[in-house]
Amino acid sequence: MDNWESRTTTDDKGTPTTIVTIRGKDFTVDEKLLEQLAEEGLADLQQAGRKAQSAGQKKFRTAPREGSGGERVNLCNTEIGPVEVTYREYAPGRTVKYRPGEGINFTDINKKEYKKGMVFIQGWGTTVWDESYEQVNQDFSDHGDARVFAVKTRADKASQPDALLHEAAAVEQLIREQGLEEITVAGLSQGGAEAIDLVTLLQKNLPDLKINGLILEDAVRLYEQSPAHLISMFSADGTRTGAGMIAEGVKRPSGFLANAKTGIQAGTDVGRGVAKEMGRSGFRAWFKRSWSEVKEMASANPRTAEVRVPVAIIQGASDGISDYRKIDPNIFPNSPGVEVIKVPGGHGVALFNSSELVPRALEALDKYRNKDKGSTPEVAGAP
DSSP-derived secondary structure for 93-153: T-----STT----GGGS-GGG--EEEEEE--TT--TT-GGGHHHHHHHHHHHTSEEEEEEE
- Compute the average pLDDT of residues 356-363: 94
Going by pLDDT thresholds of 50, 70 and 90, the confidence category of residue 40 is low
Top-confidence residue, 64 or 80:
80
Position 30 pLDDT exceeds 50:
no
At 94, the amino acid letter reads R
Question: Where do the DSSP E strands lie in 243-348?
Answer: 311-316, 337-343
By CB neighbour count within 10 A (0-12 exposed, 13-18 middle, 19+ buried), where does 16 fall?
exposed
Binning the chain into helix, strand and coil, the percentages to the nearest 5 are 40, 20, 35
Strand order across the beta sheet in which 16-22 lies: 4-10, 16-22, 25-28
**What confidence tens digit (pLDDT) does each residue in 97-120 have?**
333 333 333 333 444 457 889 999
Main-chain dihedrals φ then ψ at residue 43, nearest 5 degrees: -75, -15
**In Å, what is the CA distance from 174 to each residue of 145, 177, 202, 308, 374?**
20, 6, 11, 22, 31
Q: Say what the pLDDT of residue 294 is.
A: 92
Top-confidence residue, 380 or 196:
196
Least confident of 26-30, 116-120, 220-224, 286-290: 26-30
SS3 309: coil
Rounded distance between C-alpha atoms, residue 346 and residue 319, angstroms: 4
Going by pLDDT thresholds of 50, 70 and 90, the confidence category of residue 256 is low
By CB neighbour count within 10 A (0-12 exposed, 13-18 middle, 19+ buried), where does 308 fall?
middle
* 8-state DSSP, 327: S
Q: Say what the pLDDT of residue 154 is.
A: 87
Cα pseudo-dihedral 331, 333, 337, 343, rounded to 10: 10
Rounded distance between C-alpha atoms, residue 16 and residue 11, angstroms: 7
Question: Where do the DSSP E strands lie in the chain?
Answer: 4-10, 16-22, 25-28, 65-66, 72-78, 81-90, 116-121, 147-155, 182-188, 210-217, 311-316, 337-343, 378-380
Q: Say what the pLDDT of residue 242 is.
A: 52
Neighbours of 31 (CB within 10 A): 10
- Compute the average pLDDT of residues 121-125: 90
Position 61 pLDDT exceeds 70:
no
Most confident of 11-20, 126-135, 170-179: 170-179
Q: Say what the pLDDT of residue 224 is.
A: 96
Top-confidence residue, 244 or 341:
341
- Give the contacts of 144 (CB within 8 A, at least 6 positions apart): 116, 118, 184, 358, 362
Helix or strand holding residue 173 (H, E): helix 163-176
Angle at 28 between CA 153 and CA 170, to 5 degrees: 20
Position 1 pLDDT exceeds 50:
no
Top-confidence residue, 294 or 252:
294
- Compute the average pLDDT of residues 360-370: 90
Position 267 pLDDT exceeds 80:
no
Overall fold of domain 64-380: Rossmann fold (3.40.50)
Strand order across the beta sheet in which 65-66 lies: 65-66, 72-78, 81-90, 147-155, 116-121, 182-188, 210-217, 311-316, 337-343, 378-380
Give the HSE-up count for residue 279: Cα atoms under 13 Å, Cβ half-sphere. 6
User: Please, are residues 382 and 353 in contact by the beta-carbon 8 Å criterion?
Assistant: no
CA-based R_g, the chain, Å: 21
**What confidence tens digit (pLDDT) does each residue in 124-143 have?**
888 887 878 888 888 998 88
Q: Say what the pLDDT of residue 220 is.
A: 96
Main-chain dihedrals φ then ψ at residue 71, nearest 5 degrees: -75, 165
Q: Say what the pLDDT of residue 200 is.
A: 97
